[in-house]
Amino acid sequence: MTILCALKRAHLCTNSLGMALQFEILARYKRARAAKLTLPHFTCQTPLFMPVGTQGTVKGLTSSQLEDAGCQIVLGNTYHLALRPGADLLEQLGGLHHFMNWSRALLTDSGGFQMVSLLHLADITEAGVTFQSPVDGTSMLLTPEESIHIQNKIGADIIMALDDVVKTTITGPRIEEAMYRTLRWIDRCIAAHSRPSEQNLFGIVQGGLDPHLRDVCCQGLVDRNLPGYAIGGLAGGEDKDSFWRVVAQCTAQLPEDKPRYVMGVGFPLDIVVCSALGADMYDCVYPTRTARFGTALIPEGMLKLKNADMATDVRPLDASCSCMVCKRYTRAYLHTLVTREAMGSQLISYHNVAYMMKLNNDLHKSILEGCFPQFVQGFLRMQFPKGNVPLWVCNAMEVAGIDISMCLSPEVASS
């Protein structure tokens, strides 16, 4: 089994048209892969997690702190940046990299996600989405062309095609309509993209939880030979068993030699499962948002610092973590800061981002060193010491070809 993963196969994008990246797979374990992703501003290693910096800043952290934590790509939200400070101003000031003093890579989403998060302010037609600005109430028509135009001005290393996003919990013809519209819009995005040699346009697979629709969408996008692909429309409240099946289907269908990005995924467990299924990139507000509510991410799961028993706990958040916060602070002190002082959320955000970076670095290293199954087993043992690994994880791992039977309690194993 280990012979397989020791096989190092390089997949270099040879296509010079519309590519501003190189994706080189360094090692694999079954479907999982560890790769080197070379972007205009930074050479990254995958699997990789991208913290979300919606408005040109990751909540409360400086760019030097993000670098110290090991961040490789930061995500910016096109819709929010277009409202404030505005695309023209960003272009005038030398792009988002310069504006936020971030020298590593950036990715901007297309604004499509706001069709879901700000649905009450959005009106979706074939032309595009009309948003009512939550800032000043004016309306803005976001067409595929306009989205790309704005993202060209923002200047991120990876830009996303505008897709028609619907909630995965919705059923019926709206899902199909959205998928076909996403395919029609991708051509408009490609045509509008003015900086293909500096920015990589990723297409987004839609199609809800329907395998047939996902299949059509994957095929349609692969035909366009894009620099990378995203699996969209997930992590929106669907059941986990449907979630992993869509990821598994798409990662199997998408080309081997292109990066695969699962949008909106950020729970550590989901990242481990998706990586085992062959995904490479993730983004989520979860680590920083949960930090602001006083929850730290640790190998055992979540640590709720507001809990009364934290008041007398003199251990660091995570003894295995070497971040600045774990080196300096006890849980007891963070308990006194949390939710009362802004510093509490800043320190826990710092740790959570560092935790996510370390998790992804560990995934990369374990695939490279041929011990990916052992890493997954160790991870599951820590998260589920009683062996109550959820069934969807067991099912996904079976498809990923990773034996986790030793992590399961007898009851789970027999069911």
Partner 1 sequence: MKVEDPRNLRSIGDSTSIRDIWDLPSSQIMKFSFSVRVWSKLDRARTGTLNLGTGKPLADTPCLLLTTRKGLPAFITPELLDEIYPAANLLQISPIHFLETPPTSLISGVGGIHLLVGLPEYGLAAFARDSLMCEANGQGTTKLGAAFETSGGRRLVGPSKYMELVNALKPDFWGSLPDEVPAWVSTKRNRMSVDRTLNWLDHCLSLHSVGAIFGTVVGGVDLELRMHSAQETAKRRVSGFSLGGFGLGESKEERAALLEVAIERLPAELPRHVSGLGMPEEVLEAVSAGCDILDSTYPHTLTTGGYAMTFPLSIQDEHDSEKLSIEECATLGSDSSKINLRSMSYRSDTSPLLKSCECHACCKYSRAYIHHLLNTHEMLAQTLLDIHNVTHYLRFFAAIREAISQNSFDQYKSWFVSRRR
Task: Give contact residues for partner 1 (rule: CB under 8 A).
Answer: 55-57, 59-65, 68, 80, 84-85, 89, 92-93, 99-101, 311-312, 314, 324, 327-330, 332-333, 335-337, 340-343, 345-347, 350
Kind and range of the H or E element at 354? Answer: helix 342-368
Q: Pick the catalytic residue: 157, 163, 164, 283?
A: 283
- Rounded to whole angstroms, the Cα distance separating 43 from 34 reads 13
Contact partners, residue 92, CB within 8 Å, separation at least 6 = none
Closer residue to partner 1 in complex, CB, 93/191: 93
- In the structure encoding, which two tokens stand for residue 365, read together? 């290293």
Do 316 and 298 meet the contact criterion of CB atoms below 8 Å apart?
no
Q: How far is the CB of 149 from partner 1 (least distance, A)?
A: 20
Instruction: Write down the H helix ranges in 27-143.
Output: 63-69, 78-83, 87-92, 95-99, 114-117
Query: Which residue number, 63 or 383, has a Cβ lying nearer to partner 1?
Result: 63
**Taking the CA of residue 3 as centre, how many other CA atoms within 13 Å lie in the half-sphere pointing to its CB?**
0
Smallest separation, CB 236 to partner 1 (Å): 25
Closest to partner 1 by CB, 82 vs 250, is 82
Shortest Å distance, C-beta 330 to partner 1: 6
One-letter amino acid of 156: A
Pick the catalytic residue: 109, 157, 163, 270?
A: 109
- CB of 65 vs partner 1, minimal distance in Å: 7
Three-state DSSP class for 384?
coil
Three-class secondary structure of residue 300 per DSSP? coil
Query: Which CB, 184 or 315, lies closer to partner 1?
Result: 315
362 is catalytic: no
CB 124 to partner 1: min, Å: 25
Q: Which is nearer to partner 1, 258 or 358 (CB)?
A: 358
Give the C-alpha separation, 178 to 254, whole Å.
Answer: 20
Nearest one of 239, 236, 242, 245 to 266, comparing CA atoms: 236
User: Catalytic residue numbers?
Assistant: 109, 283
